[in-house]
Structures are given as C-alpha cells and as structure tokens.
Structure 1
Amino acid sequence: MSFVDHRHERDIAAELGDPAPYDPAWLNGQGRTLAVDGTVVAQLYGAAWEGCADCREDSLEQLCRNPGQVAALALWACTRVMDTFNDLPREMLERGDPALRRLTRAYSNSTFRHGFEARELPDLHKVCLELDLRTLQAAAERALQFLLADPADSVLFGSLTGAYTPSDEDDTQEHYALTRQVIGPDEVAITLTLPHGD
C-alpha cells in the first residue's frame, strides 16, 4: 500500500476545539515563516490516531526533514498539555526523551517571557536547529505520545492527573500551590504542592 492511499485526513479542529495545524491561522501564521507544512503535521497525527504504523513511520520521516515541523509538533503537544492541566508535568520537563525536554523547557521559558497565551514557535525552532535527524525523530515521537495520550494517563502526566480528575466522593477541588523557578536560559523548575489539612 502506498502512502497516497492513506491520507488520514481528520477534522482536527473539530476534534480538539482549536485551529488545526493545516489552518493558515494556526500559530498566528508563524509556521509559514518557518516553511512548516501543516498538512504533514496533521497527517502524522491522523496516521498515529488511526493506528496505521506504516503511514506513521512515513509521516514521521517526512515531518523530521524540516526542524520547523518538529518544533510545531512539540509546541502543539505542549500547548495541549498546558491547556488541559494549566501546567506542564515533570514528566515532560525532567524525564523521558532529552530533546523533547529541551523543547518543553523552551516552551515553558517562552510563556514566562511572552505570556501564558503566547505561542512562540521560533523559540522551539531555535532548539530544533541544534538537533540531528535521529534526535528530531525521537523528540517528535515523544511529542506525538503526549498529543495522543488520555489526560488521565499517570505514566505520562504524573501527579498532574490528580489535578485534572475530579473526585467522585467529593465535589470540592484540591487546590495546588504552584511555584516556578527559572534555573537557566533553557531550564525551569515547576513544583506543585498539596495544601496541608487543617
């Protein structure tokens, strides 16, 4: 079967409630500046979502030919996690694939500099330009896992799933104390602390 037979076109905007990667309005047009082909990003997501391993591999290879597209995928993953949890989990910032950790920290630092609602693709693109093809592929694969994951997945999202999932026994929500500390130009520490009972 050829890749052309499996386009894996999905209405991502409807699924996610956000502009899709192939929408010119996505990232406020930043992708056009970096020659990001949003359709390639969308095809990778669609192939992975539909479980087509061959197309997923082909799409991943095609996506990673352009560092801007890997940056776009990583930014999409970080944005989705941030919009879901209002934070980034330690699993993205400190564990797992080293290249995605760098991209996640660049995203986190970018939100400090430009504001929480900012979606600054060039900040992540700068990191991707320093990575080789193999490292870009590993980062893209890990970003894809975060995009596809169930928000209740404690392996990927760690303790943040507790903040996301309401208790069935109590309609009150836990309030977390959130602290952020910028350690260096590409590193930030985020800590969530549960309040002590009275």
Structure 2
Amino acid sequence: MNVDHRHERDIARELGSPAPYDPTWLNGQGRALDVDSSAVARLYGAAQDGCDVCREDLLEQLGRDPGQVAALALWACTHVMEVFNDLPMEMLERGDPAFRQLARAYSNSTFQHGFEVRELTDLHEVCQRLDRHALQPAAERALQVLIAEPADPVLFGSLTGAYTPGDEEDAQDYSLTRQFVGSEVVITLTPQVD
C-alpha cells in the first residue's frame, strides 16, 4: 500500500468551517504563539487517513508545545460549537482532565469575547499552567473530538437528554427527534397531542 504522508486534505470543505491553514483562522494570534498551522492540519489529515505512524509522530511533536495544543483545542471546540451551537457537558465534565480545562477556557472565552473572536491566548494561558505531560493527552482528545461523528455518545453524550419536556410552567409535552445532516445536527421538538 502506498501512503502519501503529506496528508493534505480540503479540511474547510470536509468540516464546512475554517481550517488551520486559513490565515483568518486564528485572527493573527497564531503567529504570536508560533503555531504551526500546517502541522495541525497534517495531524487531522493523518487521523482521517488512518495513518497511525504520522498521527503519533505529529501528536508527540505538537504535544510538547502549549501553543500547538491550545490551537488544536481551539479548533476542536470551535468545530463542536458550529455543529451543536454549544459545548456538550461531556466535553466539560468527562474525558481527559487537561482537555476539559481547555474546553472550559474556550467556553469562558466565548462568553466573554464572543464566538467570532476565537481567543487563542485564553487557551494558551491554560496550557502554560498544565503539567507538560498533560499536553499530549489533551491534544489527543482534541483530535478525537475533531474526527468524531456528531452522534458519538462518549464524546458528546446523548442529545436526547439535552431537553426535558413537560416542565412545570409548560403543561405541553414534546417529542424530540434528532437527525444528522452532513456535519450538522437537526433537533426537532414536536408538541405531543393527547
């Protein structure tokens, strides 16, 4: 089998969102932190291509640098936010502890600065405080989030549990359905008729 180890892909088209090689992706913040956006993009490509050798090499390389890990976590959280319009509780409360801290920092940054700002510096500050051995597992979790299907219950939980119908103020019960259309989730609430 002949493997192209460049792992070049049209990530923007695949994910329908900004990609690391897009100069506007980090609003110029990446240059200040020396983020190697092409290496981040190659890591994604290697994971999607199933090339474990390149994936592990790039994770080891990027997982030593707080700026690279922050950029990868920012990309993963931004992608999830675009799909779900929020970060699922599973990302904030379960899984790798270092990645959870980065997801919380992303959530706080988004709340403070707005979604379009993409404050890489907030995530970088968290990475700077992490134990250096925690960086690579955080990068691995961010990569898992990027390549996962939106229906992955381990990473994103059960979407049907996000809404509890029939609260005290609303006597009307609803049935919830979810449908995956490409990389987006369509959730429909339909009033139940007695």
Give the TM-score category using the shorter length: 0.7 to 0.9
Amino acid across the alignment from 2:179: P
Whole-angstrom distance in 1 between the partners of 2:150 and 2:34: 31
Deviating beyond 6 angstroms after TM superposition, the runs of 4 or more aligned structure 1 residues are 161-164, 195-198
Q: Structure 2 stretches of 5 or more lacking a match?
A: 163-176, 181-185
Q: Structure 1 stretches of 5 or more lacking a match?
A: 176-194
Amino acid across the alignment from 1:38: S
Structure 1 residues 110 and 6: alpha-carbon distance in aligned structure 2, compared to 1, 3 A threshold: same
* Matched residue, 2:26: 27
Matches within 5 A, 1:8-23: 8-23=7-22
Structure 1 residues 174 and 41: alpha-carbon distance in aligned structure 2, compared to 1, 3 A threshold: same
Structure 1 residues 98 and 142: alpha-carbon distance in aligned structure 2, compared to 1, 3 A threshold: same
Structure 1 residues 152 and 130: alpha-carbon distance in aligned structure 2, compared to 1, 3 A threshold: same
* Matched residue, 1:185: none
CA displacement at 1:12 relative to structure 2: 1.0
Alignment partner of 1:165: what SS?
A: strand
1:19-47: CA deviation from partner (whole Å, max 9, x where unpaired): 32022221212111111010110111111
Q: How many residues align?
A: 173
Q: TM-score scaled by structure 1?
A: 0.79
CA displacement at 1:9 relative to structure 2: 1.1
Asked if residue 136 in structure 1 is aligned to residue 135 in structure 2, the reply is: yes
Matches within 5 A, 1:1-198: 6-160=5-159, 165-166=178-179, 173-174=188-189
Whole-angstrom distance in 2 between the partners of 1:159 and 1:97: 19
Structure 1 residues 33 and 152: alpha-carbon distance in aligned structure 2, compared to 1, 3 A threshold: same
Identity of aligned residues (%): 72
1:53-107: CA deviation from partner (whole Å, max 9, x where unpaired): 1110001111123211100100111111111011111111011100000000000
Name the larger-Rg structure. Answer: 2
Amino acid across the alignment from 1:154: P
Whole-angstrom distance in 2 between the partners of 1:83 and 1:37: 23
CA displacement at 1:8 relative to structure 2: 0.8
Q: TM-score scaled by structure 2?
A: 0.80
Structure 1 residues 10 and 110: alpha-carbon distance in aligned structure 2, compared to 1, 3 A threshold: same
Amino acid across the alignment from 1:165: R
Amino acid across the alignment from 1:151: P
RMSD across aligned positions (CA): 2.7
